[in-house]
Structure 1
Amino acid sequence: MNLDKDALIALVDDDPAVLQVLTQVLQEFGFNHLFPFPCANDALKSFECNKFDVVITDFKMPGIDGFELLQQLHKLDSSLPVIVLTGHADMTRAVESFKQGAFDFIVKPFQPFEVAKGLKKALAARRLSKLEQDYKEELEKRVWERTRDYRASLEKMTKMNREIIHRLGMAAEHRDDETGAHIARIAFYVYQMALILGQSDEQARQLALASTMHDIGKIGIPDSILFKTGKLSREEFDVIKTHTTIGEKILSGSSFEVLDLAASIAATHHEKWDGSGYPHGLRGEQIPLSGRITMIADHYDALRNRRPYKPEFSHEKAFDIITNGDGRTAPEHFAPEELDIFTTHADEFDRIFTENKSMNHQTFQQTFLCSSENVEYLFSS
């Protein structure tokens, strides 16, 4: 069964020619359940009877425009992916709609493969959202209905926790080939720093696991912005910043501590000690310890890695940038205690990066989600 082909897709545009082209294009890609609407009102009325999986809507329409339609649809279903079609002249408003929850936007005139690719990405996000919701509901049900065999129930819940972490990590890895190794190394850095800061082994392991989901919000950032090789415009950088709040939204609301901790990390791992970070401009102790630790770990690993906008840096250069600054990065961005740990134990950071440079997410699952004794061995010199 092909889940994409069975999805219910609403198409909204006041131009009959555009509706016809969209319908034909998506039919050619094998999407069979298409619902074209000439106005937003008709789409909203149909939504009461049809549970759409994705909505593709024009931005400029008489009456209710794409921006208002987006808002009304998300009142009915907050996780519904909405793709906005826009002309070049509407780009500023389109970016604003993205900040308000649009999944993606496609500039007209569009290429057929762009529409199909955007739709497939939206459907994948929809499935992930449903998976998380089903996971939460099932886990809550199991907690309420657990049997007298507490140990067996605890083992099942632990497996579920590992499964959701694995799947969320895979979602981030899908957006970036390097992310599998990146999130593994982040966990290693964070675990090491947490122990030095006096956390227990169990606390350090939980913090390390939670840190692997710090960039989960990037599944909601358009490829055209996330992988842009040139300099980002201010509007594009504003979109990039939303991966923190998107990640927090995906992970928040859980009754399980590791996911709650992950939501906090997703929201705060770009906050800076001097208050110049995002998304909320938190300063000093306003930033939770988990966010401060992940921030310096993520920053070091990003400097060491090649990115669309920069080459790979040596350990020595990364160390110099963090401790002395380079115009974009300054020592004042990092909490003094965590910066001191990084400075004192910089060789450990280099070792972790070098030894795990090509580690993928599957290998991380096999090595990190193990007994605490094995984890301690993994980090021994």
Structure 2
Amino acid sequence: MPELDEGLLDDADALAAADPASVLRALAGAGAQVRRALELVEESPASRWEAADRPRAVVVAARGGATVVAGALEALAGQRAAVPVVARTGSVLPAWVGALDLVVAVSLSGRAGATVALAAEAGRRGARLLTVSAAGSPLEAVCAAARGVHVPLPEPGRESTSAPTSRTALWSLLTPALCVTSSLGVLAPIGETSGAAGAREALEEVARALDDEAEACRPSSEAFVNPAKTLALDLSGDVPVLLGDGDLAGVAARRAASVLARTARVPAVHGRLPDDAGDVVATFGGPFAAAAEDDLFDDPFLDGPARSRLRLVLLREATTGPSSAVLALAERSGVRTSDVVADEGGPLARFARLVSRTDFAAAYLALASGLDPATSPHVAELRDVLG
């Protein structure tokens, strides 16, 4: 792994120069994304949908970075959802989907082939269709042909210097899907009240939480008080194992693994408690867990490079419960740990804080490693090969 430039993290001007696509600025605008997406939903015909229009089931179609939308909706539905919520990442629509069901298709560019194909099939079967994507996209055209409802993505701000990605425009995709499904009474209430009013209340709290994270993780904040920069330093050179405590935190852990790979080129394993606890703690006795600490007098030419070590990164909404037992076991086993706790606000606001913290950390880790957080030549090459 490239040597980390820790000095860069405490130099706001140097960070800006190293970030030509303004990824940090885009992440800081997540709260504004929520507010603008709420306005776009209110301007669309979907604002007239209510609990009386509730479908028999909901299918959420998404690919790549947009799959976090499907994961979040499934997690929020949980066991208390009024109807089944099913995520689909491929192009095949379940055989049972018909005119009584709602299909939510989400794609940043609106060009994801599998998502467009699934939406088109939903239209042919007469299912109700809600799409979220860029204006003028193939997905919007499919939605119009099926007489569905399309919610466009907000226009990029003037300060943007590159096209948005699913890593920087997550809340533009997730907000409409959350708002509409809550209005239909599909999800368990995500605010203190049910329906559209409760959804708006919860999403306004999300926007405030994202603003708070943007302030705490701002580039001008020094590393020793900036939680995202601290996490980036923790992750440097280590092998991260991300473990979310609960359904929503598990979605945040999966999202964090994705952004670490795409943004900082760091591979990471992810899981959720309690299901994946056994697989994670089993690694505490393995070769990456309790390697000897680096010796000040080690010679990298004679002794070889220092071995990467396991780092358990806990993403959780409270400091109690099974996660505390896993954390204690890791520390007794000599495993390095990072504890990311979001215990303020409702479930959706806590989820937003976890996602924002790890998004910022991945961006800082990339920049301090001399990498462009906005682009990956290998991903671009893969897209060219696969078409």
Q: Structure 2 length as normaliser, TM-score?
A: 0.30
Higher relative contact order (CA 8 A, sep 6+): 2
Higher gyration radius (CA)? 1
Higher helix share: 1
